[in-house]
Amino acid sequence: MNLFDLDQAEFETLFASWNEPKFRADQLWNGLYKNLWSAPEDFSTLPKSLREKIEQNFELNPIKTNIRLFSSDGETEKVLFDLVGSGSVETVLMNYDRRRTLCISTQVGCAMGCTFCATGQMGFGRNLSSGEIIAQILFFERVLVAQGDHVTNVVFMGMGEPFHNYDNVIKAIDTLNNAQGFNFGARRFTISTSGLVPKIRQFAEENRQVNLAISLHSTDDEQRSKMMPVNQKYPIDDLMKACRYYLMKTSRRITFEWALIYGVNDSEEEATKLAMLLRGMICHVNAIPLNPTTGYDGKATSNQRAIAFKNILEDHGIPCTIRLRRGIDIQAGCGQLASKNKTN
């Protein structure tokens, strides 16, 4: 277990069981989440015996930097972290407008097997604990604070399917959201899912302020099942019903993600079908030209086709953004660096 796996209440319970006063639990909590402690010397305000007890019982640094890369334009930074225990994951920081958006991982690999995705091509390793998820954010917050800046947004769009690791993802969000600690607003998180319908419904019922993104990529069940095996279990109709349920419960706008693949899902006809499918929903489409991966022979759409796709959606009143492929030169696409490192 690592130190970041505990929430505030768990620290208090633990310290009580160690016969430590509550203010010590508060001191550690503040140290980790307000003062961003990471190195053993940061803990020097705690009594030595307590420090030793913490070190004996917990891992203080659950993620170790393996590779750190900067894109040539300097706007994207990517880190491959080795996890204590097993496996590696990637985290990407994007400077975009005035935002510092962090794209974090929730699993080593992914069980969903989407054919076009480098992480899906790897297969499933294991779930990350809440602390391993949190540690990615704190790492970059420390980097940015040293530059007088902060992480402003966190998207669960790195490796793994966040709703396949639901409890740890939610615990990480709640821990960071705690106003007496890191105090990161729920609205600044976005969870992206390939469409695990029961979890979308559970998430809707919890009515959190966290944003939801759905990876759709096709309006046709046969095609979507080929691209995203999860569709065999939760076909498009079930998925859209769950999305409408979410909208009814939360009134929060949904983002639909669409990787534009040349000749596969980037036609004007497909854009019209998508507009029909999303009719009447409070939503937004994020279209991103496919990031080519070694295990999939599809190509990215052309700029011209991407713009035509966007125009059709907007003609039907559905806002659409074409995302730039950022950090291409550092394999910043989902799972690409980890898979490259594995095969090297």
Q: Which is nearer to ligand SAH, 25 or 157 (CB)?
A: 157
Question: Is 90 considered catalytic here?
Answer: yes
Question: Which of residues 288, 306, 313, 322 is near ligand SAH by CB under 6 A?
Answer: 288
Question: Is 114 considered catalytic here?
Answer: no
Q: Is 222 helix (H, G, I), strand (E, B) or coil?
A: helix
Tokens of 307: 């713009």
> Does residue 175 bind ligand SAH (CB under 6 A)?
no
Q: Which is nearer to ligand SAH, 208 or 326 (CB)?
A: 326
> Does residue 160 bind ligand SF4 (CB under 6 A)?
yes
| Among 16-24, 94-102, 117-125, 266-274, the segment contacting ligand SF4 (CB under 6 A) | 117-125
Nearby residues of 233 by Cβ (< 8 Å), 6 or more positions away: none
Question: Which of residues 76, 194, 211, 219 is near ligand SF4 by CB under 6 A?
Answer: 194
According to CB under 6 A, which residues from 190 to 249 bind ligand SAH? 192-194, 215
DSSP 150: -
> Does residue 332 bind ligand SF4 (CB under 6 A)?
no
The rounded distance, in Å, linking the Cα atoms of 102 and 185 is: 14
Among 20, 59, 77, 90, the active-site one is 90
Question: Which of residues 5, 132, 161, 270 is near ligand SF4 by CB under 6 A?
Answer: 161
In the complex, which residue's CB is closest to ligand SF4?
120
Centroid of chain to Cα 14: 29
Q: To which residue do tokens 């069981």 refer?
A: 17
**Is residue 283 within 8 Å of residue 255, measured between CB atoms?**
yes
| Shortest CB 293 distance to ligand SAH, Å | 5
**Is residue 160 within 8 Å of residue 106, measured between CB atoms?**
yes
> Does residue 110 bind ligand SF4 (CB under 6 A)?
yes
Which amino acid does the sequence have at 311?
N
> Does residue 117 bind ligand SF4 (CB under 6 A)?
yes
Q: Is 74 helix (H, G, I), strand (E, B) or coil?
A: coil
Q: Is 109 helix (H, G, I), strand (E, B) or coil?
A: strand
Tokens of 138: 């704190």
Q: Which is nearer to ligand SAH, 99 or 142 (CB)?
A: 99
Q: Is 69 helix (H, G, I), strand (E, B) or coil?
A: strand
| Shortest CB 194 distance to ligand SF4, Å | 4
Q: Which does 190 bind (CB under 5 to 8 A by kind): ligand SF4, ligand SAH, none?
A: none
**Other Cβ atoms closer than 10 A to 285:** 23
Question: Which of residues 6, 112, 212, 239 is near ligand SF4 by CB under 6 A?
Answer: 112
**Is residue 62 within 8 Å of residue 84, measured between CB atoms?**
yes
Instruction: Report which of 313, 286, 171, 191 is spatially closest to residue 246, judged by C-alpha positions.
Output: 191
The rounded distance, in Å, linking the Cα atoms of 179 and 164 is: 27
| Among 8-16, 186-194, 232-240, 309-317, the segment contacting ligand SAH (CB under 6 A) | 186-194
Count of residues touching ligand SF4 (by CB under 6 A)? 12
Q: Would you tell me which residues interact with ligand SF4 (CB under 6 A)?
A: 110, 112-114, 117, 119-120, 160-161, 194, 215, 334
Active site residues: 90, 334
